[in-house]
Every structure is written in C-alpha cells, then in structure tokens.
A and B are shown apart, each in its own frame.
Chain A
C-alpha cells in the first residue's frame, strides 16, 4: 500500500491499473454489495412483484390471468377491507400509548433503591416472552366464563364481558394485550436514555426553580429526543406487524371484525380458504403505501439529523 501511494503524486496516471486508481471509491461498495444484493432480491424486487401480481387473477397453481386493476376495484367495494383498514388505524393510534406509558414507568424505576434491578427486569419481562404466549395469556384473562377479567369486574357488580367474542371490544382487547410488551420495550429505551441525561442541566434547572412537570417537560424530555424517536419507530413497526396476536387470540374473528390488513392479506392469499394471490397482493400494495408514509417520514427525519450534525 505505502509503496503504491508514495510515488503517486507525480507519476503519470495512465499507467496505473483501474483498481489502484479507484480503490477508495470502490471498496465501500464491495463491502456493501452482499447486503445490497440481498436487500434488492428479498425486499425491493418482491415489492415490485407484488405490484405485478396484484393485476392478476391467480390461485397460485394454474395459469394467471391478467385483469388490470380489477382487484383494486373489488377492494374498493369490500366491507372486510374497510374493517381491516379501520383496525389498522386504531392499532397505529392506540399503540402509541406505549410511548408515554413506557416513559412514566421508566421515570418511576429510575431511582436507586435496593433490588431495583429486579424490579426493572420484572417490568421488562413481558417483552422477553413470545407474542404467542402473551396472546394466550390474555385470551385466558378475557375468557367470558373462567377469565380473571370477568371475576374482577364481578367485584364491582359489572356483568361479564366477552371481550374477544364481541365485535365492539375485540380490537381494543387485542391492542391492550399488545401494549403490555410494547410498553416494556419503550420503558427499556427510556431507561437507557435517562442514563444519558446531563445532571448539570438538571442542576441548572433546579436553580431556576423548575421542578415536577416543568422539569420533565422542559429539561428531561428534550434530552430524551433520540430515545423517543426510536420508541416511535419501533412502536409504529410493532403496530403494523400485529399479525401474531390477532392470529392467536381471535383468528380475525368474530366474523372478521378484528382483522388488520396484514392478517386479511394472509387470509385471502395463504390460509386454508384463501389462495387468491392477486387479491392478496393488492392488499399488500395498499399496506405498503401506508407504510411508505412512515418510511418516508423516518428517512426524512434521519436525513435531517445527519445534516444537522
């Protein structure tokens, strides 16, 4: 290396090999290549393939038939699609409650008491167990005849509620189950964030007579901005991939009232009664467009951050 670079300053450039001349420019791309190639094959290419499949009528076995935008037209009139879309919005909005909830638990646990590590790990516990287990635990919790929830409601003289069997409560019931591990996740993000809060700024705030909410709002939270951003990202992603809880707890029911787009797509394209690949792909495209809004926002804010440095 050193041998090559030393005489370079005044050597005639034409004689140097292509590799020598472009080494610095090419190397990063070589290192990136495996990742980029797999990303193209397994992420970018299927995105376009979905667009293409969504214009077909195809059961995955026979010959596909081109039907243009017919699948989207059908989607437009499909009540099940609107139910799923509405539930997706509910998930996105209500799942964000995990962020303030996580923050407050983190603030509560951010103190030095004997055994605080144990308490912290207990609070973090729901995030460690599988979503399927969380789903099962909550299914039993909600059970209309034997479930703990209805026993507890009984203490206040309230009638039994069939949370997972009633179309009005079912989505909220599942979101509540999902919030349990998600809050733990946000909590751990904020706990690490709180370690990085500058004690001098807090001291300065104290001198200026800030305490309680004012201290939290003006001094602590601005410093937690990176943690909040990550918590926001993981929560949005968590809300959009809420598939497993729904599958375990209700299987989309009762009569499809708890489906979200990803679950509906699975049912239409891949489940026992499905195999309408084109229609499933059309739902996937709509889901992708929704995600695109968030992806664009995340990319934009990350771009702004790197430029700000």
Chain B
C-alpha cells in the first residue's frame, strides 16, 4: 500500500518531466494488446527500498494488463546468488534478476539464459547504448538493465574546507591533500576490507587511471599477465598511499558499513565507494553541505578515464514458460518512464540506464550521471568481481587485501595471481 502511494506520488511529480520526453516504442507496445496468461518473476530486490520498487513495478504492469496473472517471489539478495543455480536448472521463473558482465557468462555458456536480441532491436539499443556491451556475449544480448550507479570518492567537504583543500584533479594533489590531513591527525580514506570487494574498488580505479580502461579490461579478461609491468606500476602507486598511512588502521576487521563511522566522526575524510553509501551517510547525520563527491583523479596524464558502474539486470531463463509475457515485461522495465520512476531519490536512488529518462534532482545522482555520460570517455566497467570470472575475482581480491596489510609480499601475491590466471582462463 505504502509503495503504491509512493509510486503514484512520484508519478505525479514526474508528469512534467514526461511531457517533454517522448513515449518510448516499448511502452506503447506493451499497451497495444493487454497480455493474458501467467508471468512468474523471481527477484533479488529484497532490501526495503528495492523491494518497494519491485512491487511497484509489478503493480503498474498489472494495471496495464489486468488479465495477466503475475506471481512475484522476492528472495534474499545474498541467498539468491546461490539459489539462482538451482531454480534456473530445475524450476525456472519467466523473469529473473541478475548482473551484467562476466557474472552472467556462466549461465549464458550453460544455455540457461535466453537470447533476447530481438527485444533489443530498434530504439532500445540506442537508448540503452551505455550498457549494451555489458549485456552482450558473442554479439547477442541476454538481459536488460534497470539501474546502475556511479562509484567515486565521497568526501567530507567541511573537513577539506577546514584545512584549505580542494577536490584533487591529479595524483599529486590527492597525495598532498592526504599528507595535510594526516599531519592534522585525520586519515585520508576509510575502508573496510573484511569482505574483500572494497579493496577491489581501489584496484579498479588505480589500474584504470594508471594503465587505462582498455588495459584494465584486458587484465580482467585474462589477456595480460598479472606479473606485467603495468600491473606493478598500479601497485606501486597504491603502495604510496599505504606507506603514507592513508587508510584507517585495522581495516581487515570491518565490513563496508562498519567503516562508515570513521567518516561520520571525522576520523577519516573520504571513502571510495558506490553511490549506495550516500543513504547511510545521510542517515548518519551528514548533510549535503558536509558531504560531497569527486571523480577519481588522473594518474597517468592523457589516459581516457574509465569508471565503475555496476549494472543490475533482468533476464529470461531459457526454460521459461511464458516468454512473450516476459519480453513485454522487460520492455516495460527498460522504458524511459519506468526507469525514471524506479531510480528516483525516493525509490532506488540510483541512475536510470535509458538515455531518455530523467535523473532525480539529487546532487550525487546528477554529478554521477554527468560523470558517467560525459566524463568517462575510456568506458564503463562493471566492477572487478563482475568483470573478472568469479574464481579469479576471489583469488585476486584476497591478494589485494593481503597487499594492503603487507605490501612487501607483492611479488609473491602477483605470482600467485598469475598462476591462478593461467589455470582459470585456459
């Protein structure tokens, strides 16, 4: 009920935005003939806000197709990651959530995700161009995006102002800023590496800025050895920060949420994170005057900047029973109208993928949208553990964590990663 009220309010607010944006073809198609029959959806959007969004989407789709019998099952996000293997093979729904990039490759290779290139025909490819690559394997599309979000450095503007610092544009400024903070007893960055992936965010950015986006993509695709000079340069840059003492102590003991208080208390000044960190930081008492965002600065000059923007997606399992209904639902999900609605600040609070959608009036979303659309000429990556195969990601992220604690082990770590690469990509 609450979610329904919320969506209708949001719809009201959006009517002005919609007046200017054209009604997408997909949206019209869904209206042509109301659908009948069944539609079974399994979703991993189990946190409160995403759950309301998912339920809202189903409610609106049902309104358009009153005779369609929609069955929505929401599964805990973490449990979903292992359950998907079972339900895709045994008892598959018509629509299922998953992730873009290498994360969907095992299911595509095993023939469990349906080729939906026909859904992508026409306007859609144009409107969703930014993520088309991440959903394409061997020239065919296997899913549609519904949201993504930017990564970047979220920092305490008030602390930066206090010490006369500005947003760094290059590596030298980042380091000199950091030194000033450290001299005043403030750590430059908070991080919690207990669950490893936060360290991978740092590696993604350092590697993309040191060696460029294309190099990074080749590395995650297993085409460049981990013992390569470029990788070593990335780690050497990383080491500069570690040796300065830029990161909070004992970060191996914390999850990313447990690392937040350091930033809230002003013990650390910045956090390299996804946009989802903004909500808990606001709840923790930081106002928009205190909290700000900057794009990760340049390291090697003239390297086109690449950005991390993990994309969440919908797919149709190959053994789905109501594929036509499922395709109509995917078209509905990707329509500009729907994407504007579900990514609004009071819903998912993330970025719509459809280029025709409008971004909610939120300082971080606006800045993120600008960065991803205009300031990432290098390309958009999915995040280390979605770009690299799961096995490689696990070994590598453990290596990153070890490096952050014991930077002297770097040669041993890289040899280990190289061994893993030779085994995994053969």
Q: Which residues of A contact B (CB under 8 A)?
A: 59-62, 74, 79, 142-145, 160, 162, 164-167, 250-251, 253-256, 267, 270-276
Interface centre among B195, B196, B385, B399, by most chain A C-beta atoms within 10 angstroms, is B196
B82 near A270: Cβ-Cβ < 8 Å: yes
A254 near B195: Cβ-Cβ < 8 Å: no
Given contact pairs A61-B112, A255-B399, A275-B390, A162 touches B250 in the complex (Cβ within 8 A): yes
B103-111, B161-169, B225-233: which lies at the interface: B103-111
Distance of A147 from chain B, by nearest CB (Å): 9
Count the B residues whose beta carbon is within 8 Å of the partner chain — how many?
31
Interface centre among A61, A162, A275, by most chain B C-beta atoms within 10 angstroms, is A61
Chain B residues whose C-beta falls within 8 Å of the C-beta of A166 in the assembled complex = 252
Chain B residues whose C-beta falls within 8 Å of the C-beta of A250 in the assembled complex = 194
Given contact pairs A60-B85, A165-B251, A254 touches B402 in the complex (Cβ within 8 A): yes
Chain A residues whose C-beta falls within 8 Å of the C-beta of B63 in the assembled complex = none
Interface of B, helix, strand, loop or mixed by DSSP: helix
Q: Mark B92-126 against chain A: 1 for CB-CB distance below 8 A, else 0.
A: 00000000000000110110100000000000000
Chain B residues whose C-beta falls within 8 Å of the C-beta of A272 in the assembled complex = 78, 81-82, 390
Q: Which residues of B contact A (CB under 8 A)?
A: 78, 81-82, 85, 89, 106-107, 109-110, 112, 193-196, 249-253, 385, 390-391, 393-394, 398-399, 401-402, 405, 416, 423
B195 in complex: contacting residue of A251, A255, A276, CB < 8 Å: A251
Given contact pairs A61-B112, A162-B252, A275 touches B106 in the complex (Cβ within 8 A): yes
Bound Cα distance A160, B250 (Å): 10
Q: In the complex, what residue of chain A is closest to B78 when comparing beta carbons? A: A272
Given contact pairs A59-B106, A61-B85, A272-B82, A253 touches B401 in the complex (Cβ within 8 A): yes
Bound Cα distance A62, B107 (Å): 9
Given contact pairs A272-B390, A273-B390, A251 touches B194 in the complex (Cβ within 8 A): yes
A144 near B249: Cβ-Cβ < 8 Å: yes
Chain A residues whose C-beta falls within 8 Å of the C-beta of B107 in the assembled complex = 61
Q: List 17 A-B contacts (CB under 8 A).
A: A61-B110, A162-B250, A162-B253, A164-B252, A165-B251, A251-B195, A253-B194, A254-B194, A254-B401, A255-B402, A267-B394, A271-B82, A272-B78, A272-B81, A273-B385, A275-B85, A275-B106
B249 in complex: contacting residue of A162, A270, A275, CB < 8 Å: A162
Given contact pairs A59-B106, A162-B252, A255 touches B82 in the complex (Cβ within 8 A): no
Interface centre among A142, A255, A256, by most chain B C-beta atoms within 10 angstroms, is A255
Chain B residues whose C-beta falls within 8 Å of the C-beta of A255 in the assembled complex = 398-399, 401-402, 405
A273 near B394: Cβ-Cβ < 8 Å: yes
Inter-chain pairs besides A61-B106, A251-B195, A275-B85, 20 sampled, C-beta below 8 Å: A60-B85, A61-B89, A61-B112, A62-B109, A74-B423, A142-B253, A143-B253, A144-B250, A145-B250, A162-B249, A165-B194, A253-B196, A253-B252, A253-B398, A255-B401, A256-B398, A270-B82, A271-B82, A272-B390, A274-B394
